[in-house]
Amino acid sequence: MLRTALRHVLAQKTRLIQTVLAVCLGVAFISGSLVFADSTTAAHRAAMSQDYADISVTVRPKSAPVADADERYGALDDALVRTLAAVPGVGSVRPVADGSVTLAAKDGTPMRADSMRGKLGVAYAPGADGRDSRYPLVSGRAPRNGGEVALYRGTAAAGGYSPGDTVTLATDGPAFRKRLVGTVSTTDSRVTAGGTLAVFDKATAQRLFAAPGRYSSVDLTAAPGTGESELAARVAAVLPADRAEATTADAQATQQSVLISTVTRSYERLPLLFAVVSLFIGTFLIVNTFTLLVARRSREIALLRAIGATRRQVVRSVLAEAALVGLAASVLGFVLGLGVATALPHMLDTSGDLLPAGPLVIGPAPVLASLAVGVGVTVLAAWLPSRRAARGSLPSRRCARPSSRRPRRSPGSAAGSVWSRSCSARACSSR
Amino acid sequence: MPQTFTPAAPPATEPAARATALTKVYGTGETRVTALDSVTVEFARARFTAVMGPSGSGKSTLMHCMAGLDPVTSGSTRIGGAELAELKDRQLTRLRREKVGFVFQGFNLLPALTALENMTLPLRLAGRRPDAAWLDTVVATVGLGGRLAHRPAQLSGGQQQRVAVARALLSRPEIVFADEPTGNLDSRSGAEVLGFLRDSVRELDRTVVMVTHDPVAAAHADRVVFLADGRLVDELHAPTADAVLDRMLAFESHGR
């Protein structure tokens, strides 16, 4: 029966094209969006693990609602940094003063006005060699006082700034202006994904994002041989328990993952909507195509029934045909979907969030989902026509026959009209 | 395969198929047409019977009812002892597959399958393998040895009908129904096909019922029954074409 179905499929190639196209498109959107989501999540994970590569534990002020910044960041001062550095197992300590700052482009329009995230302001924290390894200078020099700022090179390019220009910025207070003295690069995924980055001198950053002389957080690296959670426990012991807390990088990464997957899911929504629409339309096309195919083959099906095919065998042969068509369409659709997955990031660029680059990740789930949906929809849609084929075959068989006969010699004969009348009567009653 | 109907080897006197007071009505009210009006007829084993009659006389309907393709309105139809009216669709399907062979006028073969695949299709539908020796016998009888791998489109009309005859014989059916099997053939191919039908009766002990309106075709049969206006009106044993034609002409003149 399968071989018969295969031969029929091959014989009906042109008629099946629209069915294949519809299923193919639907599957392409499904596989495309699933592969895209997987790839994006994987790329985000990779970028994030890089962000947290040199961090084991982060100390933050306790997130109790405190009105005053002095109060809130009060615990995170240079004295605490020295205490933390003395904790056994701490490799390096990096006090951080960062927060959100909105930049205006050179023409005055705010950059990333539509996004809450990825508008980063940080302190330049030179190490022993006088440079900050997190923000290597690309051109110019680091900001030295409250009148100067450095920008991520991508931010500077996007805003139309070149060194020496005056940059307009704002945190939650009134806007202020600073002179651009240099550009830096970074691997921070929030920035490389299309965010902006402004680098201030330490005192300015502290004033903007914490309080004078205070930090917004302190990043610690574990010394070799010390585990993250072990270090977090030791650090927690020296912290003022009600005012600061220690979080492992793992926990932070997990938190970020949850956030990111929420974002990626929203990217999936549009293509999945396309998929639903095209499969919905596809269902009608499939029903139509198979109704047509079945009708064209009514004589063949009648013959099959006459020589001993059961209804179930007829249904199965039609469904086998549908499954073959669905399978072919799904495979095609999946390949097309890889193209969709590649193209999607470019289509979604308008939102302002650049998606991290990464290889296409093809997991088993998108493959299985695509095949299941493609074959499933086709077979389900062909089910009604197949039932009709098996049921209607015996009576309709004889109605189909007179047309295949040679014209009768006496057209006005009673027999001819009896024949057609009896057929149309049965056609009506069988409905 | 378990059998749900029991044609427990009917006695030798039992005909291969029998209709008793068979009536078939199509439609209701104004469109009501009585295609068969209380027809009683028997088709004996290992005999070649022709059913003749003018167009609309009900001969095709008789065949379809007796083969279980069309339900009857009243009366009884039996094949090898099985009462068709008592069978459910699946049992009827199985009966057609195992006890009945069909040869139709025009559309007989699945175009996608080869001649051999078409012949063995009823057996494959039943999930059985053809008996190799019997297959050889049947193929030799219908003379299709070299053409088994051909598709129907590559065969002549006569060859296609011979494939259909072979298919009908291959499952060793109780009875073979042939509906105008030579209707679309030229006289030479038609004579060939009729020859094979007759050979299958004489040499292979099969039972064949053939519907035709061609006196020459009917002359190949052992017996001819005549239908007119849905009634059995006459029969003829060991017919000749002339004898059949004479009867036909007689009905025509009576009927007018």
Concatenating the DSSP letter of every residue in B190-227 gives: HHHHHHHHHHHHHTT---EEEEES-HHHHTTSSEEEEE
Give B 189-218 residues with CB within 8 A of chain A: none
How far are the Cα atoms of A158, A416, B41, B60, B228 from residue B54, in angstroms, in the given order? 92, 11, 18, 11, 7
Cα B132 to Cα A113, A345, A369, B168: the distances in Å are 82, 63, 46, 16
pLDDT digit string (tens) for B185-211? 888 888 888 888 888 888 888 899 999
Q: Note whether A427 contacts B: Cβ–Cβ < 8 A.
A: no
Cβ pair B70:A394 closer than 8 A: yes
pTM: 0.65
Closest by CA position to A294, among listed A422, A378, A373, A383? A383
Mutate to test the interface with B, among A1, A8, A307, A317 (most CBs of B within 10 A): A307
Query: Is B109 in contact with B164 (CB distance < 8 Å)?
Result: yes
CB A27 within 8 A of CB A329: yes
Strands A196-200 and A119-123 come out as: parallel
ipTM, two decimals, is: 0.82
Residue B30 contacts A, CB cutoff 8 Å:
no
Percent of all residues in chain B with a pLDDT value above 90, rounded to a whole number: 14
Cα A35 to the chain's mean position, in Å? 8
Indicate the helix (H) or strand (E) that contains A181: strand A176-184
Output A404 or B177, whichever has higher pLDDT. Answer: B177
**Segments in chain A below pLDDT 50:** 350, 393-431
Half-sphere exposure of A40 (CA within 13 A, CB side): 26
Q: Which of A4, A398, A426 sits opposite B113 (nearest CB)?
A: A4
Across the interface, whether the CB atoms of B27 and A394 are under 8 A apart is answered no
Sign (positive/negative) of CA torsion A206, A210, A214, A217? negative
For chain B, the average pLDDT equals 84
Q: Which of B28, B39, B98, B45 is nearest to B63 (CA)?
A: B39
**Which residue in chain B is spatially nearest to A298 when comparing CA positions?**
B107
Nearest C-alpha in A relative to B123: A308
Which pLDDT score is estimated for A397? 38
- Which pLDDT belongs to residue A200? 92
pLDDT for residue A356: 63
Touching check for A426 and chain B: CB below 8 Å?
A: yes
pLDDT at B138: 83
Residues contacting residue A11 through CB under 8 Å, at least 6 positions apart: B111, B112
The reply to whether B9 touches chain A by the CB within 8 Å rule is: no
The domain limits of chain A are 2-47+265-395, 98-209
Nearest CA in chain B to A309: B125
Strand partners, A70: none
Judging by beta carbons within 10 Å of its beta carbon (0-12, 13-18, 19+), is residue A298 exposed, middle or buried?
middle
Q: Using the Cα atoms of residue A330, residue A332, residue A336 and residue A338 in order, give the sign of their dihedral.
A: positive
**Range of lowest pLDDT (A3-12, A135-144, B73-82, B144-153):** A3-12
Which residues 404-423 of A have a C-beta within 8 angstroms of B?
404-406, 408, 413-416, 418-419, 421-422
Give the model confidence (pLDDT) of B26-69 as tens digits. 888 888 888 899 999 999 888 999 999 888 888 888 988 988 88
Instruction: Give the pairing type, strands B208-212 and B48-52.
Output: parallel
- DSSP letter at A145? S
Residue among A299, A401, A421 whose CB faces B33 most closely: A421
Residue of B nearest to A301 (CA): B110
A306 contacts on B by Cβ (under 8 Å): 67, 69, 96, 102, 104
- Distance between B228 CA and the closest CA of chain A, angstroms: 11
- Of how many residues is chain B composed? 256
Give the one of A8, A300, A415 whose C-beta lies nearest to B56's C-beta.
A415
Assess contact for B79 and B174: CB atoms under 8 A: yes
Cβ distance A394 to B69 less than 8 Å, yes or no, reads: yes
Q: In the structure, what pLDDT confidence band is assigned to residue B254 with cuts at 50, 70 and 90?
A: low
Give the residue with greater pLDDT, B57 vs B11. Answer: B57
A419, closest residue in chain B (CA to CA): B56
Q: Give pLDDT tens digits for A147-165.
A: 899 999 888 888 889 888 8
Helices A2-11 and A311-347: crossing angle in degrees, nearest 10, is 60
CA distance A79 to A295: 87
* CATH architecture for residues A98-209: Beta Barrel (2.40)
